[in-house]
Amino acid sequence: MNISQMISEFIAKNFLQGQSQGFTPSTSLIELGILDSIGILKVMRFLEENFSIKIEDEEYIPEYYVSVERIESFVKDKLAAKTMSA
């Protein structure tokens, strides 16, 4: 399962009651009310636990969590930075 699939599955299970019909990687999660501030915190915890990344407090920026595509990009950036610093 790739990053996008893992994030999509988590969001569908935890915020859409398992219903992913009409839900795509570009769906606007915040604009449609799928994610709110508490939801973003849950997604952040999921990302830290499942991708072994550390999300800093200053990275609690709603723009990073507007869609699965944007979250995936954020995770890939964090993983690349982690690899470069290792």
Kindly state the average pLDDT of the residues 46-66.
95
Helices and strands: H and E segment counts in the chain: 3, 0
Does pTM surpass 0.95?
no
Q: How many domains does the chain have?
A: 1
CATH number of the domain encompassing residue 29: 1.10.1200.10
Which residue in the block uniquely carries the two structure tokens 């994030």?
7
Domain that holds residue 32: 3-16+23-85
Asked whether residue 84 carries a pLDDT value surpassing 90, the answer given is no
- Dump pLDDT digits (tens) for 28-53: 999 999 999 999 999 999 999 999 99
Give the DSSP H/E element, type plus range, for residue 68. helix 68-85
